[in-house]
Amino acid sequence: MIHSDRDRYGFKKANHFVSEQEYNNWWKDYSPYLSRRKKKWEKFMAKNGFQTSRDNPPTRFPARSEDMKRYVRKGIPAEWRGNAWFYFTNGPAKLKDNIGVYDKLVEETMTMINENTEAIEKDLHRTFPENIHFNDVTKTASDGTTYEEESSLLNTLRRVLKCFSKYRPSIGYCQSLNFIAGLLLIFLDEEKAFWMLVIITERYLPGIHDFNLEGVNVHQGVLMLCVRQYLPEIWPYINEQDERKGTILNGFRHGSKDDNSFLYDLPPLSFCTTSWFMSIFVGVLPIETTLRAWDCLFYEDSKSIFQVSLTIFKQAEPQILELINASRGMSADDGFLSAELFQIIQNFPKKVLDANTLMEDCFKYSDFGKLSQEEIMNCKKYVVESRTRYNELIKRRSAVGLNENDRRELVKGAVVIENKKVGLKSLNWNGKLNNRMRKIQHKLR
């Protein structure tokens, strides 16, 4: 693979953020790591009574345990990945309870034409154009002329998305579902990929792809709560507020520490992090890093999205602080800091090729790995309540508009509550992480 311009999944190695040489240099170290991990996985499976072979990837895996979690966090063997994801998410039971449903949906949607199918057609050829498996195939006719034939995987993706739009009408079709389904199809057969997409939208990303996208805003609010709690140095600069709602510190506006208005008036940087949830890092992180994040997600639940997101922010923190220091004394009105900060959060993750470093920083060198699903769910409940309260107030004031007194009333009702009530615990930092951050910055520049 080192002599090819594509990775083992068919994606081009090089892009605007990672060169082919950088990829090959990383792969030289990562490939032996994968071989070692595969052998350890085989021994681990055998120890737990599961036999494996080259031609028959396992379809069942050991019971959940601390050892199993550690193995997943270090990466599932690529050839086992699809079966592992399906098993961890209880896919076999879903399939058993819905025998024949997918075949019926395929038949019902074969000639279906509506606004969802039109949107699917528009996005279909935008799905992984850099991946060879999603590219149309050039063929030669008997008379010697050439013609383009649609990729079989694209045709499969069309069926999955059309069936999903009918099965889940509250969503229909939403941009980013094509990327999630497309990546699933690289590792799973058609029917299993369909049910995985259903499971993801039901269990792991509820509301994220609904028509009003309120679920995205709720999850963004939870992420902002996490950033405020665990990354206090950069939080004031991420939580950019306008002059009516905040104060000005070092030439940059932000809300006061007792102001939770960012939960219903999301910071501008949320435009960057929206795709972190909607596509589960597809197109945000390099593909291998994305797959490692998915391993954790499907084994550990949606908290993994927040753990990985916090680690991205933490790895970018030195670059953010350097920018802040360079901008001191500048006028807040020139928008320099805001624009540059947006670029960092937009582009930094695309350079995180070293999946091992990201996972180690998340689970070994920090306490992000201790963030529990219960804490995330408590935060989610708190954000939903805050946004509901805000929307109700807006409705009551809609006749006259929301004036400054109304805003103060709202903020007073949404004052920061003790962390234990919001749902987040304090995390203790391992000092080794900051040293690693400095090394990462040198690698990514």
Q: What average pLDDT is seen over the chain? A: 87
**pLDDT at 139 (0 to 100):** 80
Cα–Cα nearest to 425, from 370, 361, 362, 359: 370
DSSP letter assigned to residue 138: E
Identify whether the C-beta of residue 141 lies closer than 8 Å to the C-beta of residue 148: no
Residue 131 phi, psi (nearest 5): -100, 130
Residue 175 phi, psi (nearest 5): -55, 140
Chain centre to alpha carbon of residue 97: 28
Give the residue-averaged pLDDT of 125-143.
89
Q: Residue 417: pLDDT band by 50, 70, 90 thresholds?
A: very low
Tokens of 81: 């990945």
SS3 139: strand
Give the residue-averaged pLDDT of 5-9.
96
Residue 283 amino acid letter? G
Which region among 8-22, 109-123, 144-158 has the lowest average model confidence (pLDDT)? 144-158
Statement: residue 378 has pLDDT above 70: yes
SS3 148: strand
Cα–Cα nearest to 182, from 158, 203, 163: 158
Instruction: Report the share of the chain in percent with pLDDT over 90.
Output: 67
CA distance 182 to 335: 38
Identify whether the C-beta of residue 315 lies closer than 8 Å to the C-beta of residue 378: no
CA distance 156 to 57: 23
Statement: residue 176 has pLDDT above 80: yes
Q: Residue 213: pLDDT band by 50, 70, 90 thresholds?
A: confident
Provide Rg for the chain, Cα atoms.
23
Cα–Cα nearest to 219, from 163, 279, 166: 279
CA distance 99 to 94: 9
DSSP letter assigned to residue 203: I
Looking up tokens 């229909």, which residue turns up?
172
Give the residue-averaged pLDDT of 366-385.
93
Q: Encode burial over 210-248: b for 16+ CB neighbours within 10 A, e otherwise.
A: beeeebbbbbbbbbbbbbbbbbeebbbbbbbbeeebbee
CATH of 95-204, one of 3.90.650.10, 3.40.1800.10, 1.10.645.10, 1.10.8.270: 1.10.8.270
**pLDDT at 327 (0 to 100):** 78
CA distance 119 to 171: 13
Measured CA to CA in angstroms, residue 140 lies from 41, 137, 227, 236, 436 at distances of 45, 10, 55, 60, 54
Residue 239 phi, psi (nearest 5): -85, 65
Which region among 19-28, 143-152, 275-284, 381-390 has the lowest average model confidence (pLDDT)? 143-152
CA distance 101 to 95: 9
CA distance 114 to 108: 13
**pLDDT at 146 (0 to 100):** 81
42-95 residue pLDDT tens: 999 999 999 888 888 999 999 999 999 999 999 999 999 999 999 999 999 999
- Domain residue ranges in the chain: 20-68, 95-204, 214-444
Q: Residue 21: pLDDT band by 50, 70, 90 thresholds?
A: very high
